[in-house]
Amino acid sequence: MIKTLFILNLKALGANFVKTDKKKAGAGKILLVAFIAVYLTAILIGMFTALFSSLLEPFFSMGIGWLYFAFLALIVFGICVFSTIFTASAQLFGAKDNELLLSMPIKPSSVLISRLLVILTFEYVFVLIAAVPAFVLWLAGGYATAAGALFFIIGILLLPLMAMSAALLLAWLLGAVTSRLPHKNVITLAFSIGFLLAYFYVFANFQGYLGELVSKGLELAEAFRRAMPMFYAFGKGIAEGSVGGGLIFTLWSVLPFTAVITLLSANYMKMLIVNRGVVKAVYKERTVKAGNAISALVRKELAHYWSRPFVVLNSSIGSLFMLALSVIVIVKQSDILSYAGEFLPMLGGLPPAALAAVFLVLLCATNNLSASLISLEGKNLWIAKSIPAPPKAVLLSKVYTHLLISGFPCLVASVCTAMVFAKSMEDWLIIMLLPQAVGTLIAVGGLAINLHFPKLEWTNEIQAVKQGWSAMITMFGVMGTIAGIGLAYAFLLNSIIPLMAFLWICTGVFAVATVLIYVWLMKFGIKKFAEL
Amino acid sequence: MLNISNLTKTYGGKRAVDDLSLHIAKGEICGFIGHNGAGKTTTIKAVCGILEFDGGEIFIGGRSVKREPLECKKNIAYIPDNPELYDFLSGIKYLNFIADVYGVGTIERRERIHKYAEIFELTADLAQYISAYSHGMKQKLALISALIHEPRLMVLDEPFVGLDPKASRAVKEIMREKCDKGGAVFFSTHVLEVAEKLCDKVAIIKDGKLVAYGEMDKVRGDSSLEAIFFELDEGGK
């Protein structure tokens, strides 16, 4: 039964990536998904190879080779826990077919384990992407032993179990805390953003930490050993072939996992059927000011957006960064200017304002909210189609929503950045206009792509946001376009045209493209919408 | 009020609705009956302007659904067979959203929300998110939202599914009241007893074709609607 359910869950997940509404996946689509997967894997493997190659020699030469593997374990643990908390919560406690499956003569523990196995499968993929480069470098460095290699394989198999135990406990705690609260989305969102900011803070300061780690290796190793004995055991088992280390890590992984699974299996049914009773909001009749259709539609889109933390995180992370950037450039103005003073001469005296504008463009490019706004209508699409609002208004409300979510933070970030880097009116204008031109192009372009590739049949909205063709095409299309323009300038055009003039041409091209796509939306897009 | 002439809709090679014509005058309630997949929902969606059709014409109050879809939509209320509503809004926010879209004024919306929420006993739950509603509560909210702009034509797909007996009776009374005030109702149902008691007219659809249509007394004759339905259904086999 577990096998059947596991295969069913895996198939459902696979279909989300390659299937669009009512159509079977073609070979082309499968190939494209495979290409994207290989591309992303290659990038991650490259990143981990660079990281571990900078750690291998220093640690092993200092006699603290275990820290190399402890570091690997810590990274893998962090990635697995963060990627699993919300998936585990959604898969275990929020899956729409839970009630159906539990009404059948299937053991609740079978449902639980089949879902956990799917999550574990993905965790193993993450683990391998990080572990293989670390392993190969270790072998190539000549530090490997047979016992160490054996412990490495065992340890890598056990590590996701430890991460899953922690993730399940955190997911359960988060669910227990938020279930009685009326605004649990806000708490989940705050939690996610906090986690993400902490991650990026560590990431941004990573080189500094690495330097410190290498220079104060022995001192930090001792602190690490005391604070995280499970990772110390993991590292010792592999680097020194220590049986004791291997056994201790095995216990650290297996015991909590067994305890969590036993606890969950025994209480899974109860956890799903218990009604903790959310505090009921009290209705007070009051007069509400009447609004027009377009503002009602935009308010509806914004309410939808704010109610789904994963939509905020997956489709508009750039807005969060832009707001953070606004604060950083003002608070850390002198540090940034001094860093820029050292850094800019290396780029051959390129204008700081132009580079600031390009940086804002990169942040704007990570926002692809409009690419999933049609898909997010899902089974509610009948409302948008049956109300007496023209399709044009429905489409415009989605463009406006994207512009509000992306454009406003971009405006704030542009003003703050320009205050630091702009030296002339032209500098101000390029910092203000270029990112907005890109943001507006993505707003209309993403919507046009979503009209072509809608994903209206989903069981979880995350499928519409993360796993739809529209979001993928928009994300890679924008990244590819910006990379292409950047490379074209760097290798072909930089000797012909100054960067500032090139950016003005880009702004103009983006504006023209926006107008063209807007015209298409209003003429043909509304027909596409009617056909949905 | 509603005039459908020679409506045809094809999916792939299959005719889901085949040359269907019917007319519902002001003050009439027309029941739309047929087995699953007969073409009821397709017809209803075409009437409401949310499904493009291949042939024929649909007029609501003399206006073409094809040429003046927005004017037609302003005059109708549509409830699908399974009303999926915006579960990220509270009940009252959803009603205000619909009222804004239909251009219902502040005073009128307050009065109508109060009236219908009381009738359907949903007042206490209006501040709740729709995600916390049961199927029946969603159906009641969909009904209130359909009535908030005082539609002239109500087009309802299986409106009684999920409703408690009291709410079902309220819906029947509201349907009759709308018709008495010059409106019209076109609804599909599988509950033949309800159709028989409530409807002035009945339309029976089979494999996309209208096999019986007219005033209830004439279609039914001395028999029951159920007997006629099965007779027509088996007659074509």
Q: Judge whether A288 lies within some domain.
A: no
Could you tell me if A386 and A298 lie in one domain? yes
> Do B84 and A287 make contact, defined as CB atoms within 8 angstroms?
no
Could you tell me if A254 and A195 lie in one domain? yes
Residue A495 near chain B (CB below 8 Å): no
Return the percentage of chain A with pLDDT > 70, whole number.
87
User: Residue A455 in contact with residue A375, Cβ under 8 Å?
Assistant: yes
Burial (CB count <10 Å: 0-12, 13-18, 19+), residue A142:
exposed
Is A434 or A67 the better-scoring residue by pLDDT?
Answer: A434
Could you tell me if A262 and A319 lie in one domain? no
Q: Judge whether A478 lies within some domain.
A: yes
Residue A382 near chain B (CB below 8 Å): yes
> Do A380 and B126 make contact, defined as CB atoms within 8 angstroms?
no
Task: Give A408-439 as a DSSP string.
Answer: HHHHHHHHHHHHHH--SHHHHHHHHHHHHHHH
d(CA A237, CA A151): 6
B77: closest CA among B30, B25, B146?
B146
Judged against a pLDDT cut of 90, whether residue A411 lies above it is answered with yes
> Do B110 and A285 make contact, defined as CB atoms within 8 angstroms?
yes
DSSP annotation of A278: P
Residue A278 near chain B (CB below 8 Å): yes
A1-5: average pLDDT: 74
pLDDT at A293 (0 to 100): 86
Q: Judge whether A78 lies within some domain.
A: yes
Could you tell me if A162 and A252 lie in one domain? yes
For the packed helices A184-204 and A293-307, what is the interaxial angle rounded to 10 degrees? 60
Residues of chain B below pLDDT 70:
235-237
Q: Judge whether A278 lies within some domain.
A: no
Which range of residues forms the domain containing residue A154? 2-15+24-273
Return the percentage of chain A with pLDDT > 90, whole number.
20
> Do A293 and B98 make contact, defined as CB atoms within 8 angstroms?
no
Angle subtended at Cα B169 by Cα B168 and Cα B171, rounded to the nearest 5 degrees: 65
Q: Judge whether A282 lies within some domain.
A: no
Token pair, residue A416, equals 């703050």
A6-12: average pLDDT: 71
Is A417 or A187 the better-scoring residue by pLDDT?
Answer: A417
Could you tell me if A333 and A416 lie in one domain? yes
Could you tell me if A467 and A496 lie in one domain? yes
Q: How many CB atoms lie within 10 A of CB A17?
A: 19
Could you tell me if A133 and A221 lie in one domain? yes
d(CA A217, CA A19): 50
d(CA A107, CA A43): 41
Q: How confident is the model at residue A25 (pLDDT cuts 50, 70, 90)?
A: low
A237-264: average pLDDT: 88
Boundary residue ending a domain (A238, A273, A308): A273
Could you tell me if A241 and A307 lie in one domain? no
Is A414 or B227 the better-scoring residue by pLDDT?
Answer: A414
Residue A22 near chain B (CB below 8 Å): no
| φ, ψ for residue A379, nearest 5 deg | -75, -5
How many domains does chain A divide into? 2
Chain B positions contacting chain A at CB under 8 Å are 48-50, 52, 70-71, 73-74, 78, 80, 82, 84-86, 88-93, 96-107, 109-110, 114, 123-128, 132
A54: closest CA among A204, A237, A215?
A215
Could you tell me if A262 and A313 lie in one domain? no
| φ, ψ for residue B28, nearest 5 deg | -105, 145
Q: Judge whether A423 lies within some domain.
A: yes
A399-403: average pLDDT: 94
Q: Judge whether A238 lies within some domain.
A: yes
B204: closest CA among B191, B218, B188, B223?
B188
Boundary residue ending a domain (A245, A273, A301): A273
Could you tell me if A300 and A160 lie in one domain? no
d(CA A115, CA A97): 12
Nearest-Cα distance to chain B for A465, in Å, is 16
Q: Which helix (H) or strand (E) holds B23?
A: strand B14-24
Q: Judge whether A526 lies within some domain.
A: yes
Among A110-124, A215-229, A262-276, A494-508, top mean pLDDT goes to A494-508
Could you tell me if A375 and A454 lie in one domain? yes
Boundary residue ending a domain (A273, A304, A322): A273
Unique residue bearing structure tokens 């309802």: B156
Judged against a pLDDT cut of 80, whether residue A474 lies above it is answered with yes
Q: Would you say how long chain A is, in residues?
A: 532
ipTM for the assembly = 0.84
Token pair, residue A425, equals 């009116």
pLDDT at B197 (0 to 100): 87
Angle subtended at Cα A469 by Cα A468 and Cα A472, rounded to the nearest 5 degrees: 95
pLDDT at B237 (0 to 100): 47
Is B69 or A40 the better-scoring residue by pLDDT?
Answer: B69
Could you tell me if A256 and A388 lie in one domain? no
